[in-house]
Amino acid sequence: MKKNVAGYSAGELIKAIENELDAGTYRVGGWQALLDILKDQNQVVSTALSQDLTRVSDKLHRRNSFPETAAWVGFVGEYLLFAVSVGALTFDATLARLGGVILLAMCLQPLIKITVGWGVGVRYSYVYLWYFEPRFKMQFGSYQQMSRGRKLSLQLAGSVGTPVALLVGWIVLEGDPLLSLLCLLGALGALALQVGAFFAVSAGVKKVGPFLLTNLTTPAMLAKEWKQG
């Protein structure tokens, strides 16, 4: 990939990136250059360009070789987990309700995000296992077709699930003061971490150790979208 991409259209750069991916010669930097072009030109993403963006984004992501399966499998799994967690919360046994809170804390954040995503126009290519956490790979072109307001709404919605789940635990476990307190502290801690991530990215912090902050938590993506606006 040429370092100087001045004069390249988004379509030309997508084609160049895909050719390098297919040849196994891609180097980090080309995709970011493409995003900069789309941002700087405030380019309206056509349906054809959206499909190209999705295809190349998926190819780029699949270089990580994360285990994956169809998106609908992930959707069904998340909704089933949510149903089981809600059912467990109705039990009288404290242990069952605690299990329900744990399951709810696992599934609510991604469930809210993918549900809101579908509502605002995002589509998903597949679900993959990011180390130990299931994640949904957005069709990047569908995301780029969205207005800034919808992007912000999606990232905001994806930031509230874990604190909300732990606040539910604070309420349903009130019969056990220690567990209830731990849930409350967990909710406050999760909220503090998310607010911290938002302000860290807003201040220009990009990484925690080897990981991009935007890969670790949705509030970091919210801050990124906010800054780009």
**pLDDT tens-digit profile of 178-226?**
999 999 999 999 999 999 999 999 998 888 878 888 888 899 888 888 8
Distance separating alpha carbons of residues 38 and 11, to the nearest angstrom: 10
* Mean predicted confidence (pLDDT) in 43-68: 87
| Distance (Å, whole) CA 14 – CA 5 | 12
Average pLDDT over every residue of 77-105: 96
What integer is the mean pLDDT of 23-51? 78
Quick one: how far is CA 188 from the chain centroid?
21
Q: Are residues 76 and 181 in the same domain?
A: yes
Mean pLDDT of the chain: 89
Decide if pLDDT at 35 tops 90: no
Q: Whole domain around residue 12: which residue ranges? A: 1-43
Instruction: Report the candidate in 8, 30, 9, 7 with the shortest Cα–Cα distance to residue 19.
Output: 30
Global pTM value:
0.85
Q: Are 202 and 224 in contact (CB under 8 A)?
A: no
Identify whether residues 62 and 4 lie together within a single domain: no
Q: CA of 223: how far to CAs of 21, 26, 28, 69, 120, in Å?
A: 29, 28, 23, 29, 19
| 130 three-class SS | strand
> Is the domain of 88 the same as that of 186?
yes
At 68, list the tokens.
């994956």
**What's the confidence (pLDDT) of residue 206?**
86
Ramachandran sector of residue 135 (left: φ over 0; alpha: ψ -120 to 50; beta: rest):
beta
Q: Are residues 145 and 33 in the same domain?
A: no
Quote the number of domains for the chain: 2
CA distance 43 to 121: 18
H helix count then E strand count, the chain:
11, 5
Q: Are residues 23 and 66 in the same domain?
A: no
Same domain, 59 and 124: yes
Q: Are residues 75 and 119 both part of a single domain? A: yes
Are residues 62 and 30 located together in one domain of the fold? Answer: no
8 Å CB contact between 109 and 216: no
Q: What phi and psi, each to the nearest 5 degrees, are found at residue 67?
A: -60, 140
